[in-house]
Structure 1
Amino acid sequence: MHYALAPRTFVFSHYFYTGLRIATGVVGLSCLTYAFADLRTAMAVAMGALCTSLMDMPSPLRHKFNEMLAAVLLCSLVALLISLCSPVPWLLRTVIVLVSFLASMMVVYGRKAMPLQFAALFVMMLSAEEAATPLQALRHGALFLAGGAGYMAYAMAVVWTLQRRLKQQVLAEALYELASYTNLKANCYDIATPLPSQLEKLVRQQSVLAERQQASRDLILRGKPGPDETSLVQVHYAMFDLYEVVLSTHTDYALLRRHFAEGPTGGPVLELLGDLIGKAARDIESVAYAMTRNRPSRRVVDYQDDLRRLAEVLRTLPSNDEDDKTREAQAVLRATSNKIRETIGMIARLHAASRAPHGALPITPGADLTPFLTQQRYSIGLLLSNLRWSSPTFRFALRVAMAISAGLLLSEWLPYQSHGYWTALTIAVILKPSFSMTRQRRADRLVGTLIGCVLTAIILRFVHAPAILFGFLFVATAAGPTFLYIKYRYTAIAASMQALLLIGLTLPHGASAINERLLDTLLGTLIATFFSYVLPSWEYQALPRLIDAVLDANRKYVDAAADLLLGRSVDDFHYRVRRKGFMDSLANLSAALGRMLDEPAAKRRAPEALNRFTVQNYLLVAHVAAVRLLLQRYAEHMPRAQVEAALEQTFAELRARLGMAAPGGEAPPRERSGPAAPWAGWVPLQRRLKLLHQDAEQVTQARAALDEAPGRRG
């Protein structure tokens, strides 16, 4: 379950704060306007505030200003244009098709542009409901602009005042996802859980974690931190150091399972390791929990008994076993014990950082953090370059324009009094760029609308006092944005209640609107379902590009890792940038794979090979991280020349494997010399380097399997 859905964390999440802020702004502006004007004026102002609120998402202040200003100007222009065209039916339909197409083309700018696309469609449908004279259209546009600008000023003031609180909440969310990631690792020691499926879950969670970590970077690292934000920066950097330690431990499960699943100490050892990692996950969660409450965190988990038992198990391991496999498994168990202790130590750093409001910032003065931050660019050239038949965005825009046009036409022929904009809004809500998202929205919209209509019917049946109805309207307005990104079905319930409560307040005898909304939603769902198969862009069509991006990022990461481990880099800045790029590309491929599995079976291409390719790339990152930490752990008395020679040879082999023109070729012969000096790190290092070579080989084989899969290029 998503952390924000749990009762103990819900009211402290930024999702709840956002919903509360939006409801207060929209309903507050509406009531304020109604106090000085009529209801029609108040509703026009509320419409402007509501459309602008769709862009009120957690963002850096400058980005938020740009996003909300774009919503105010664009939606006001659409409202004015549609109102001016409303008296002429053929002109209105033409403009609706054009606006639908252009608004949907905006998704080319990424996920943050999707709310703006919907806002433009939303105001377009509401403005097209009634014909207006030119004077009425100008008045409607002016009121809409006033509502949007008023909400923008209110939201910017609130977020500026509470920006530290927002940073806390977004950082806490990244910590919650890191805790979930760590907890999945604990399940890898459970022999009842198939290891391949657990690794798949780890890769999926890695995608979610990468997204939340990026949101944390964008808010915390952008600009100069204030005097009261020092602890947030420290916790942020401690989180990433902890993440690298946790990442490096995701590599030895198969060997530990084979050798310690049975026997006098076997089963308890694996259970003990899982318990320790599970406690570490709860410990990380406690840091996030305290941060959302604006409190310093302190350790609430006791590891001592488990660590003592683990130490006893390690002491009882036979030291004279001549079986190489057994000795290797014992060495891995000891290394895993060390990593668990490092993880616990890193979590202690997290706790300490949350209690150090004025410590030194872990940022090199003058460091350019731009490569780590999301850049907001909205060039017209990108939009124009996608005005081509092969562009998925162009096809999506055509699909939306055709579906909305069909919905408006069909609603005019229905035997009952249809609200055409409800049908069109249902289409706009359901139709998304990917089939997977469309399918999920379709189910949530249907179920949510049904529940919302039933709840509203009960409320309107027994509640007649306007003040109480306004209270329900406030709750529905708050719930919509609160659950938009974590449980859309609840948002659909809230949206239905919001619309029907507004009708109940303005039209006391509008109970029939509930039945009409159900019918219009069903019609819109059927139309959206049909058009989801029109001009489709299936996920497998983008897979070659995503796979090549992963391989390219992989090569760059290996080069950066080689520079760092061989001492050619003065610090790990370049390494962290390349690791972020590699993880981002891997997350994109993993997300595409997940969406493809929701598509019709005939449109899936080699899901097993794709999953293997993704997991093996993930393991390669984990092994590189493990090598780095191993060299840090055994830095004392390290024979630098011999170690660098071994690393040079391994990275040369990795480059040869990952950079081959044709998958399946042979790598250069491996000639690895034995240890030239007594050093405790030789055996674990040689094992890691061997695993790195195997990873690269597995990546190459998985790539070859993908190239041979039917329809790979089709």
Structure 2
Amino acid sequence: MNTYSRRISYFLSGQHFSDGVRTTVSILLPALLLAQWGHFDLGLTISTGAVCVSVTDTPGPAAHRRNGMLAALGMVLVTSLLTSLAATSVWLLGLEVGLLSFGCTMLLVWGARAGAVGTAGLLNVVLMLAHPPALAEALPHAGLLLLGGLWYAGLAMVTYQVLPYRPAQQALGECIHALARFLELKAKFYNPATALDEDYRELVAQQVVVNEKQEAARDILFRTRQIVNETTSTGRRLVLTFVETVDLYERVTAGYYDYAAVRASFGQSGVLPYISTLIRHIATELDHLGVAIQANRPYEGTGPDLSDEWMRLQARISALDNEAESHTRVLKKILVNLRDIIRRIGNIRRYFDESLVKSAVPSRAAEHTRFVAHQEIEAQALSQNFTLKSSVFRHSVRMTVACLVAFVVAESLWHGQHNYWILMTVTIMLKPGFSLTRQRNQERIIGTLAGGALGAAILWALPWTEVRFGVLVVFMILAYSFQRTVYLATVIFLTAYLLIMFSFLGLSYIGVAEERITDTLIGCAIAFSAGYLLFPSWESEQLTDYMAAALKANLAYLRQLANRLAGRPLPPHEYRLLRKDVYVSGANLAAAFQRMLTEPKSKQHCPSETHEFVVLNHILSSNIAALTGTLREAAPAVPPFAAEGRRALTSAAAALQKSLTRIAPAAPESGPELPPTEPAVPADADDKSLLEQLVFLQKVSGDIGKVTEVLVK
């Protein structure tokens, strides 16, 4: 299976495609069935209820998805009745738009799923503006919307009951796929033809993706009672495989070396391409495993034997010039790391062997729940955020103003048949951060133009009704499958299928296309202006918080290393919690940096130095992980810890604490607990290697300190 076919397999067996098919069925079926009986308008209303509730059905545990859909049902019912009452006066409609846009957006204080409930309510209001029901029809109309929402929610819950493990398998497969891509990028560091700065930029960007996928898998696995209690073979295999995957990610990130020096020393030896090839083959094997887990099918390895390939690489390194042992020591470290990665991939393959996990395993539900964040729905959180210091409050005010402007423009200045598209565009395009608002606006405009051209081409080239309907169904599935991953693709297919749908209703597709493009341009202009002018949220203003979080996490990570060197034990789950904090804080920092690069250059603060800080933070955590991994494998014996090593570790901790104090002056002093000085002992090769690694930690920490001096100016 080549790369292209693997990507197709991941897409077709993934959760987003499943959600796209379910959303398409829930929308199309009511409209088609009732159209056969001459009640297409009633079917369309039911489909509208299904669309609104589907907004809250985002990936996550089945219980959370159910609660979100139930809340959306209540929101759809309330907004439907309010809109029917307000439709008697344009002034009342404007008042409703202003109040609901603010109130629904404020639901973000309780998390993304609660925010999706607010979005469902706003979407229902906007869609009702096309043809507001008469006051006498308010209750029947609300009942039809509620029926549509119940239809979607029921279909979704039946799916979860019939296939309870599919969301977890899909999330785990996507997690492994992202890790395989991360490993594939690591292979580029052994290619002298690539630029290291660009390699690091790609690697850090993929680190963000890996963290997102791990958090999504962790959320589903550790919040699903049937899985976390490990009552079944499938549940145990999912949990054990995920834990092994995170450990594998640690080994991959721990494999950091001075790549510039490696290229300079061994670029002419011819061994680096073989290292790069082996890493790519390992990534391919991992990718195949991810596809098999996500698709829930048996796995049979078809690629080269990784152990044999590793042994051939070992022979090539041994055959290098007969110089001192230190000359090829770094290559031997790479070999050891690759051997461990291959071994762990072998452990992941055990997922397909049920006999290895059928024996009873004690439940670790209490331990697992410590790895997921808990957010309670507290009423006081809403009142506490009624301040301009709250980003949610500022975004709610921004949304209110933008929606009111869009409503006034649609009612007063632009009288298109579907002028509610302006307000819909604003509610979808305006995001809490300007960078995402700008990106969405660009994708919306480009996608609308491309989708309009695609839809027009389909209608011009395919005059057959049945064929057009088939294309419509395919475009709907693709539009709803990509809505959370590739927004540009969603807009393209959504615009195209809307043109085809309106052609079935007897409307001129050219006129519809012109109106949609005009409405999109107006709505995007309003959303962009609101995001830029009204309480703008610039990433550069928040980067110091992410930097401080990353430094705190690395300080705690360094503390556990110092304790391990002192011979103090560290429970595995405590270590994994520290490691998770490092990964999450590093990924959040990298994501914020990427968002900053999409903002106007005048709003970017020291982009070069910030990128250097992100890379150094990644290098620091990678080297701490490498040292910790070596010491954990050496347990219970601990290498001698000489005074030079202690001084290096103390200096590294002091430099990090100083950097943290510069960035966040209010941060408490919390340097790592260091072991006492040991008597000097004769150093062998392993001791020298340990000392070199500790000195390197000192150097990287010092480099971080130099960068922070520039950043705080």
TM over 0.5: yes
Q: What is the Cα deviation at residue 172 of structure 1?
A: 0.7
Give the corresponding residue for 1:280.
Answer: 282
Which residue identity does 1:138 align to in structure 2?
A: L
Q: What is the Cα deviation at residue 357 of structure 1?
A: 5.6
Residues 572-611 of structure 1, C-alpha deviations (whole Å, 9 max, x = no match): 2111111111221121111111111101110000112211
Give the corresponding residue for 1:44.
Answer: 45
1:355 aligns with 2:319: no
SS in 2 for 1:533: helix
336 and 383 in structure 1: CA distance in 2 versus 1, 3 angstrom threshold: same
Residues 621-647 of structure 1, C-alpha deviations (whole Å, 9 max, x = no match): 1111111222245559x565x338777
| Count of residues in Structure 1 that have an aligned counterpart in Structure 2 | 696
Which residue identity does 1:244 align to in structure 2?
A: E
Residues 425-454 of structure 1, C-alpha deviations (whole Å, 9 max, x = no match): 112222212222122211221222223333
SS in 1 for 2:641: helix
- Consecutive unaligned residues of structure 2, counting only runs of 5 or more, are 666-670
Q: What is the Cα deviation at residue 619 of structure 1?
A: 1.4
Which residue identity does 2:288 align to in structure 1?
A: S
Q: What is the Cα deviation at residue 375 of structure 1?
A: 2.6
1:553 aligns with 2:553: yes
Residues 342-390 of structure 1, C-alpha deviations (whole Å, 9 max, x = no match): 1111111112333336515777646421221243433333333222223
1:447-486 equivalences in 2 (<5 Å)? 447-460=446-459, 470-486=469-485
Give the corresponding residue for 1:419.
Answer: 418
CA distance in 1, matches of 2:220, 2:42: 37
SS in 1 for 2:271: helix
Residue range with higher mean Cα deviation, 90-99 or 193-202? 193-202
Q: What is the Cα deviation at residue 489 of structure 1?
A: 1.5
- Report if aligned partners of 1:480, 1:491 keep a CA contact under 8 Å in 2: yes
1:24 aligns with 2:30: no
1:648-659 equivalences in 2 (<5 Å)? 651-659=649-657
- Report if aligned partners of 1:555, 1:659 keep a CA contact under 8 Å in 2: yes
Q: What is the Cα deviation at residue 103 of structure 1?
A: 2.0
CA distance in 2, matches of 1:319, 1:634: 29
1:127-166 equivalences in 2 (<5 Å)? 127-166=128-167
1:235-384 equivalences in 2 (<5 Å)? 235-262=241-268, 265=269, 268-299=270-301, 300-303=303-306, 306-318=309-321, 321=324, 328-356=326-354, 359=357, 365=364, 367-384=366-383
CA distance in 2, matches of 1:691, 1:702: 17
Residue range with higher mean Cα deviation, 151-160 or 560-569? 560-569
1:212 aligns with 2:213: yes
Q: Sequence identity of aligned pairs in percent? A: 29
CA distance in 2, matches of 1:470, 1:613: 53
CA distance in 1, matches of 2:540, 2:675: 37
SS in 2 for 1:87: coil
SS in 2 for 1:389: coil
Q: What is the Cα deviation at residue 240 of structure 1?
A: 1.6
Q: What is the Cα deviation at residue 569 of structure 1?
A: 3.6
573 and 646 in structure 1: CA distance in 2 versus 1, 3 angstrom threshold: farther
1:519 aligns with 2:518: yes
Task: Compute the TM-score of the two structures, normalised by the length of structure 1.
Answer: 0.90
333 and 463 in structure 1: CA distance in 2 versus 1, 3 angstrom threshold: closer
1:231 aligns with 2:237: yes
Give the corresponding residue for 1:616.
Answer: 616
SS in 2 for 1:191: coil
388 and 165 in structure 1: CA distance in 2 versus 1, 3 angstrom threshold: same
Residue range with higher mean Cα deviation, 428-437 or 44-53? 428-437
1:100-139 equivalences in 2 (<5 Å)? 100-139=101-140
Residue range with higher mean Cα deviation, 534-543 or 473-482? 473-482
CA distance in 1, matches of 2:9, 2:618: 33
Which residue identity does 1:344 align to in structure 2?
A: I
Residue range with higher mean Cα deviation, 615-624 or 523-532? 523-532
SS in 2 for 1:337: helix
- Report if aligned partners of 1:287, 1:351 keep a CA contact under 8 Å in 2: yes
Q: What is the Cα deviation at residue 94 of structure 1?
A: 0.9
CA distance in 1, matches of 2:597, 2:397: 25
CA distance in 2, matches of 1:14, 1:662: 43
- Report if aligned partners of 1:59, 1:219 keep a CA contact under 8 Å in 2: yes
- Consecutive unaligned residues of structure 1, counting only runs of 5 or more, are 322-326, 709-714
Which residue identity does 2:253 align to in structure 1?
A: L
143 and 5 in structure 1: CA distance in 2 versus 1, 3 angstrom threshold: farther
CA distance in 2, matches of 1:295, 1:609: 47
CA distance in 2, matches of 1:466, 1:138: 36
Which residue identity does 1:307 align to in structure 2?
A: W
465 and 103 in structure 1: CA distance in 2 versus 1, 3 angstrom threshold: farther
CA distance in 2, matches of 1:310, 1:647: 33
191 and 568 in structure 1: CA distance in 2 versus 1, 3 angstrom threshold: same
CA distance in 1, matches of 2:277, 2:498: 49
Residue range with higher mean Cα deviation, 572-581 or 460-469? 460-469
- Report if aligned partners of 2:456, 2:509 keep a CA contact under 8 Å in 1: no
Q: What is the Cα deviation at residue 68 of structure 1?
A: 1.3
117 and 440 in structure 1: CA distance in 2 versus 1, 3 angstrom threshold: farther
SS in 1 for 2:552: helix
1:503-582 equivalences in 2 (<5 Å)? 503-507=502-506, 512-535=511-534, 536-564=536-564, 566-582=566-582
- Report if aligned partners of 2:645, 2:695 keep a CA contact under 8 Å in 1: no
467 and 313 in structure 1: CA distance in 2 versus 1, 3 angstrom threshold: closer
Q: What is the Cα deviation at residue 693 of structure 1?
A: 1.7
- Report if aligned partners of 2:77, 2:146 keep a CA contact under 8 Å in 1: yes
Q: What is the Cα deviation at residue 302 of structure 1?
A: 2.8
89 and 635 in structure 1: CA distance in 2 versus 1, 3 angstrom threshold: closer
1:685 aligns with 2:702: no
Which residue identity does 2:553 align to in structure 1?
A: A
- Report if aligned partners of 1:48, 1:148 keep a CA contact under 8 Å in 2: yes
Residues 464-493 of structure 1, C-alpha deviations (whole Å, 9 max, x = no match): 776655544433332222011222112112
Which residue identity does 1:489 align to in structure 2?
A: L
SS in 2 for 1:22: helix
Give the corresponding residue for 1:15.
Answer: 16
Which residue identity does 2:707 align to in structure 1?
A: A
Give the corresponding residue for 2:668.
Answer: none
CA distance in 2, matches of 1:366, 1:486: 31
Q: What is the Cα deviation at residue 518 of structure 1?
A: 2.0
